[in-house]
Structure 1
Amino acid sequence: MAPLPVVSPAALDRVRGALWGVYIADALSMPVHWYYDIRRLQQDFGRITGYEAPKKVHPGSIMSVSSTGGHGRGGQSGRIVGDIINHGKHDRWGKPGVHYHEGMAAGENTLNALCARVATRGIAQRCAWSAEAFLEDYVKFMTTPGSHNDTYAESYHRDFFRNWAAGVPPEKCSQGTEGHNTASIGGFVTLPPVILSCLRQGLDAAQDAAVRLLALTHESRALGQYAKVYSQLVFELAQGREAKEAIRAAAADVGVDLDKALRYDYDDTTVVQRVYGSACYITDSFPSVLYLAYKHADSFEDAVLANTNAGGENCHRGSALGAIVGAAHGASGIPPRLIEGLHDSRAIRTEIEQYITALFPEEAAAEKAGGVATAAAAAGGSGGGEL
């Protein structure tokens, strides 16, 4: 059997950067999540440059017409929200103007990003990605009162637990058949820790794992195809591929003409809102992710702040973007204030380091010992390629 490739210190930095990026971009956008009216965003917050708490009233909230018993719109007679998940939040859904993330603190993460932390912790605990283990951890997290502080849960969570509460086995609880809102960027938020856990095994393994994870919660062939492209981009950036080159390749794979968007004399918000679209649908949101990643390839901070201030589905779009630019720059290229300002920064740091140590133990030990010795040398010169 060929020796496993050595993961370089630079690659470890890029893995850390990708994971931090998921949480940073989400938390920056949380207070203005689903602000489609940019004038109101600017009225409420000006231009966001750091972490903020949400306002008490959300000007575009549709929770009052969203189903608490399953996916999509509907009434609030269902008790999936309140009794099964998002405990104690049911009464907040039936009232107009309630913020999706009411009561959350500045720098706090929304539910999907918290599920990425669930995936990260599970991988660290078991030293590998496992679909069965993730389902076990996901169900436990979502059904445990007090496990998180978010008010809103996306359709796919509500559908999953509607099925689960009816006795359907977890592996068969994914959200319905392909529909207009099934192929949503929200499904990408949990992918980075799974993709990066396959860094030694190769791109095919990373893509297979990403598609498998999505299938647990989203029955969407379209979303799976986009996930393969996204997985390749994150994977190759973690390996050190030049960012703009990698992003251009991903754009070509999904038929996005980045040059056309860059030729417009528009600001970022206008491109996201009017050229590609700021909604959750993957056909709108993924081109916006690629555009922002490409235009701001030289600055992690500029990319994630441009995403936040563009409004719309900026939390989940932001997490997908944050992993890309985080992998491109590494944790060392992220401003410390954005890491330290996260509400749960210390816990997240611990989880990321446990993930690194579990998946790349020799490299982590070498890094700890001096930061320059290769893992192969630390292991007695076992050889293998280097990432």
Structure 2
Amino acid sequence: ARVLMKSIVATNGKFNEDHFRKSYVDFMTTKGSHNDTYASTCHRMFFANMVFQKKDPKDCPDNDGHNVDTIDGLILPTVTALAETARQLHVGNKDGEGSIKDIQMAAARTAAVTRSSSILERVSEVWAELIYTAITIDATGSEMEQPLVNVARALGLNSPRPNRRDEMSACYLSQSLPPTLDMLSKYTQSREGINSCRKALLNNANTGGENVHRGAVLGAVLGARVGEEGLQGDLKDDLHSSKELENEINHFVSAVMGNQSQEGGEL
């Protein structure tokens, strides 16, 4: 996600799949660029195609029919949806049908850089509209209730059930999306106010299962609803590399709002 954010900064606040693809390949093939001990299936398949099959990076996204159509695939499209929504609003396209379609298409193209998944691309389009809605509608009451119902309907799922217990799930989209929408419905209607985001993220962590990437997409929507003032200090300050993250986020916001005057750091 940070690689994508920096790529968007470098391309003046717009998502560019060619630039991001190169940034992704450079990051993943540079020794010491990260200390992750596990790489998702999509990454392993991508670089197996590039290294062993000698494919062009554009042709390297793949799918094993099992571990690629997963909720972690929504992280990157979420970043692009946030960027494109902010950029569209900045240039004055609020409530424009064309602008939402552009945001959806950019999110789907983002998913396609690292994975070959028509399902994920479709989910990314629907999810991108939810991101747009979370940013643009009033942050009070139950304004998110109908948009969440619309998301479920568009994906062929049951309507979200805010009164359910927070549910553990596996990573697969078919299993992870229903409880994710349930939690969004529950915590966007919460009487906790600005504390709702913190409560949701802590409860998600304690639920178990594939809660890391679900927490990321939950945090994107709920964070958009409560704003920076609704994110308590420890949620930001206690993060590893919090200062670097703060700097990267500031560059990202500046770029998508059209105020970028410098690069967002090395990729």
- For the superposition of Structure 1 and Structure 2, which TM-score range results when normalised by the shorter chain? 0.7 to 0.9
| 3-state SS in 2 of match to 1:223 | helix
- Matched with 1:125 is 10
Q: Equivalences for 1:218-367 in 2 at 5 Å?
A: 218-240=115-137, 242-258=143-159, 261-262=161-162, 267-268=165-166, 272-273=167-168, 278-297=169-188, 298=190, 299-361=196-258
Distance in structure 2 (CA, Å) of the matches to 1:262 and 1:216: 34
Question: 1:305 Cα deviation (Å)?
Answer: 1.3
The residue aligned with 1:168 is 55
Aligned to 2:73: 187
Q: Give distance in 2, aligned partners of 1:176 and 1:222.
A: 11
Give structure 1 regions of 4+ aligned residues with deviation exceeding 6 angstroms: none
Q: Secondary structure at the match of 2:185?
A: helix
> 1:133: how far off?
0.3
* Equivalent-residue separation in structure 1 for 2:147 and 2:241 (angstroms): 31
Which ranges in structure 2 are unaligned for 5 or more consecutive residues?
Answer: 94-98, 191-195, 262-267
Give the corresponding residue for 2:264. none
3-state SS, counterpart of residue 235 of structure 1: helix
The 5-angstrom pairing of residues 82-231 of structure 1 reads 116-127=1-12, 128-166=14-52, 167-176=54-63, 179-199=65-85, 200=88, 202-231=99-128
The AA in structure 1 aligned to 2:4 is A
Q: Normalising by structure 1, report the TM-score.
A: 0.58
SS state of the match for residue 122, structure 1? helix
Bigger relative CO (Cα 8 Å, ≥ 6 apart): 1
Which deviations, in whole Å up to 9, do the C-alpha atoms of 1:45-66 show, x marking residues without a partner?
A: xxxxxxxxxxxxxxxxxxxxxx
Q: 1:14-52: per-residue Cα shift (whole Å, max 9, x none)?
A: xxxxxxxxxxxxxxxxxxxxxxxxxxxxxxxxxxxxxxx
Deviation, structure 1 residue 187: 0.7
Alignment of 1:60-99 (within 5 A): none
- Residue identity matched to 1:155: T
Counterpart-to-counterpart distance in 1, 2:236 and 2:26:
27
Q: Secondary structure of the residue that 1:361 maps to in structure 2?
A: coil
1:347-386 alpha-carbon deviations (Å, 9 max, x no partner)? 1111111111112135x99xxxxxxxxxxxxxxxxxxxxx
| Rounded Cα–Cα distance in structure 1 between residues aligned with 2:110 and 2:178 | 22
Listed one character per residue, the Cα deviations across residues 86-143 of structure 1 (whole Å, up to 9, x for unaligned) are xxxxxxxxxxxxxxxxxxxxxxxxxxxxxx1110011112212100000010011111
Please tell me the residue identity of whatever aligns with 2:11. Answer: R
Distance in structure 2 (CA, Å) of the matches to 1:344 and 1:192: 21
CA drift at 1:263? 5.2
Q: For the aligned residues, what is the CA RMSD?
A: 1.9
Query: What CA distance in whole angstroms lies between the structure 1 residues aligned with 2:40 and 2:57?
Result: 17
Q: CA deviation at 1:330?
A: 1.5
**Distance (Å, rounded) in 2 between the aligned partners of 1:356 and 1:347:** 14
Identity %: 34
- Taking the aligned partners of 1:263 and 1:198, their CA distance within structure 2 comes to 33
Letter in 2 for 1:181: N
C-alpha contact 1:251 1:257 (8 A) present in aligned 2: yes
Residues 333/173 of structure 1: CA separation in 2 closer, same or farther (3 Å cut):
same
Partners of 1:326 and 1:235 in 2: CA distance: 13
Give the Cα–Cα distance (whole angstroms) in 2 for the partners of residues 194 and 218 of structure 1.
15
SS in 2 for 1:140: helix
